[in-house]
Chains A and B, each alone.
Chain A
Amino acid sequence: MLDYDVKYLRYKTFLNTYCPHCNNSFNVKKDNKELLVFKAKFKKQDIDILMSPYLDVFEVEASVPLNEGDKLSDLICPHCLKSLITEEMKCDECNTKVAKLIITAYSKLLPFYICLQHGCEWHGLTKADERRIKLKIPRQEMPEQDQKLRIHNFVEVPYGLTTELALLEAGRCLQCKNPKCVDGCPVNIDIPEFIRLLCEEKFNEAAKKIKERNVLPAVCGRVCPQEDQCEKLCILGIRDKPVAIGNLERFIADFERKMDLVKIPIIKSKTNKRIAVIGSGPGGITVAADLTLLGYSVTIFEALHQSGGVLVYGIPEFRLPKSIVNFEIDYLKRLGCKIELNHVIGNIHTIDELLENFEAVYIGVGAGLPRFMKIPGENLCNVFSANEYLTRINLMKAYKFPEYDTPLPKGDKVAVIGGGNVAMDCARNALRTGAKEVTIIYRRSRIEMPARNEEIHHAEEEGVKFKLLTNPILYVGNDNNWVKGVECVNMKLGKPDDSGRRRPVVIKDSNFYQEYNLVIVAIGNGPNPIIFDSTPDLERNKWGYIEVNPETMETSKEFVYAGGDIVTGSATVILAMGAGRAAANAIHKKLSGKN
């Protein structure tokens, strides 16, 4: 048996290790003099016992010098001289015997195993303990900008997870054998796998893993309603809070972008087939990226002067910084995808004309026609659709008026009609552009609100008021035709309707009047007529949206595909991306099968 010194020791969080037999502590000090001394015999010249466990609770590295010809036999407690090698467990990687120590984690004594084989880094707890510890780690929340400060700027509200927080949060994932979260994701990202890579600090690999299924992780990590998708199905969510999958996705994507790790893949098999994509929103971007990677030459037609669709005109800067969208668009261009701005399809080219030059056409134009309630006074000055209000601020940068030329709608007392994410965006924009009081008027109760909890919570934090179970019936104007107030009625919830939500019913004689000088109507969008006017043979459903084969997204016209809001009505970014993915696959199948 040989005596040897541990060469160096490094730890992030103090870890006490004890002998499982005599319960004496192996005193660990940073100073090189009084280090833990293991007594052991090894057959190899050098061995690294690398204890960088899976959890970020602690990290210890020990290096052991050995003499030539030594046999691997034992690791012995310096106090009781008993062997620490155990039969209880075997190394997962090399199937050899492992040493057992006792560690303290979360004020509990837990058995901990390390493999002594040269080059093997395996270490771990018993499965049950590992699970128990993971369940003890609370869900890590993102640091956020102070609520009083942030209503005076357009800087993004959450700062994102730090590397430490992300590793801690990722450590919570149980790595289920049969992961439910993947089913909850509309584009089926391999969530456990990217989290595993993240745990191993392989951030770049994790980013690649996500990008196999999702071309816009930085966007989706921010705006996806994860609580209704992947996180809703997370096993941890049954007893505690689910793993913050969205925040981890965002962390990975931000890391990749900030560290400049994004690489342009080489596209091997180029075809000479051309695809036209109408609309550069999330759906169009997905189709374009997927098909470009498959070797097609893709042209995107965008009606506005900037690409990104709802990501640039709709979602506010403080929720999704435009620099991120621009980065993703830039990536698309670097892939080789062409983007034609200022092209309103239907007017400048009809779909039939596009089919003459392109093998297939994807319609991802969104539902761009704001709905109004058709109540008196809706066309008074300072009554806006959410689309107009947001477009002025986000796309046209009216909040920088007069540096930018587009005027900013202003009002002290603002009413926002509706309870969706867009309503929250409008309300929070109003606060940031000088409104003294902002009220959300919604006809159902808080539970039925379609907005994400996070958005409602942020709005509340920032001081937005909520008038629930209330519906406007009339806008009152002053002599100059400017809105000065809203007449509302109170509502109560009746029986559930087709959507499963309880239908709001008017309470008789509950009318009341409230003063507002800026009203924003955020009750959704209908289908935009421009494409249909020039393409009458495109079949549509009873709501006016395009009818498609739900599997291939092909429309009634051959080689014309559609997806996103123009098929489903107002929905989410990720659903549009899911539809884009399905369409890209179908287009590839159809076009590659033809020759």
Chain B
Amino acid sequence: MYEIIQKQEMAKGTIVKFIVNAPKIAVKIKPGQFVIIRVNETGERIPLTVADVDPFSGTITIIFQVVGKSTALMRSLNAGDFFKDVVGPLGKAAHIEKLGTIIFVGGGTGIAILHHITKAMKLAGNYVIGIIGAREKEMLILEEEMNLLCDEMVITTDDGSYGQQGFVTQPLEKYLDERHDVKEVYAIGPIIMMKNVSNLTKKYGIKTMVSLNPIMVDGTGMCGCCRVTIAGSTKFCCVDGPDFEASEIDFDELEKRNTMYLKEEKDALLFSIK
């Protein structure tokens, strides 16, 4: 059993942040790795990225968007409640080294995991440029935390309610035009965002890493649910990823695979309301 230490609702309650007591994981988890949480006995195994860790107090911070029954159930929990299972760390860690200038592009809840990687890259001595975006002002998360890490930061909102109006790709393109010392772009967010960033950076020939979020069951390579096509061959996101070189990814396939259980998700929600 893993205790929830702290709970915070963000973005009008559609995004929730939990600080969970998981000392063994907190010591081991590296940026880019994820955990799987099972809320209760009948629950499904939900892969969640880790936004931050505190190895000294033995806690991990998870941030997730409420999309279906399981995440709604998670939101209903409070500090002092317990998760039945937390498994981790899972997946390969992001490759952290001093490269020079790196642009970190984040959208929606993707900013959560981006934050963990940005922190490590900053500590490794990189010059960090952050571009984070959301649909509107209230939906933007971790602005302060990112601001602390980034040497330069741009905020975009789709409706222009905060920062620049538009998508994250616009300031990214500007940076890529102006700066020629960008060594790597890290983009984490909705699939469509990562796809657009990838298309853009391909033109500039800049290495771009993304973190994928396919549907998973066990998260240890055992089931193959999370398979993605990378450079024409099948990879398992949970053991080969979740970070991949963006230019090689078949985003369209991933997008369709991720909609596989939309109907079931609705059914489950209706069932739980009843």
Binding site for B on A (CB under 8 A): 303-305, 313, 341-342, 344, 347-348, 368-370, 372, 374, 378-379, 381-382, 384-385, 387-388, 391-392, 395-397, 400-408, 480-481, 528-530, 533
Contacts and interface: CB of A to CB of B under 8 A. Distances in A.
Interface string B231-274: 00110100100000000000011001101110011011001100
A309 B89 CA distance: 20
Contacts of B272: 402
Contacts of A395: 218
Contacts of B88: 344, 347-348
B234 A348 contact: no
A370 B90 contact: no
B239 A530 contact: yes
Task: Choose among B85, B218, B253 the residue with the greatest number of A CB atoms under 10 Å from its CB.
Answer: B218
Taking residues whose C-beta sits less than 8 angstroms from the other chain, chain B's interface range is 35 or more
A379 B42 contact: no
A401 B224 contact: no
B224 to A, nearest CB: 4
Given A303-B87, A378-B234, A405-B268, A480 B220 contact: no
B222 A305 contact: no
Contacts of B38: 305
B42 A370 contact: no
Task: Choose among B268, B271, B272 the residue with the greatest number of A CB atoms under 10 Å from its CB.
Answer: B268
B172 to A, nearest CB: 29
B44 interface: yes
A401 B264 contact: yes
A342 B2 CA distance: 11
A402 B271 contact: yes
A470 to B, nearest CB: 23
Contacts of B265: 407
A481 B87 contact: no
Given A305-B38, A381-B257, A396-B217, 17 more contacts: A304-B220, A305-B87, A344-B90, A344-B220, A370-B224, A379-B253, A382-B260, A384-B224, A391-B218, A391-B223, A401-B268, A402-B267, A405-B43, A407-B44, A407-B264, A530-B239, A533-B92
Report the 3 A-B pairs with minimum CB-CB distance, sorted nearest first: A407-B264, A388-B223, A481-B256
A369 B222 contact: yes
A113 B43 CA distance: 66
Contacts of A372: 224, 227, 234
Contacts of B43: 404-405
B25 interface: yes
Task: Choose among B70, B85, B233 the residue with the greatest number of A CB atoms under 10 Å from its CB.
Answer: B85
Interface string B64-86: 00000110000000000000111
B45 A396 contact: yes
Contacts of A344: 87-90, 220
B77 to A, nearest CB: 15
Contacts of B261: 407
A533 B260 CA distance: 31
Contacts of A530: 220-221, 239
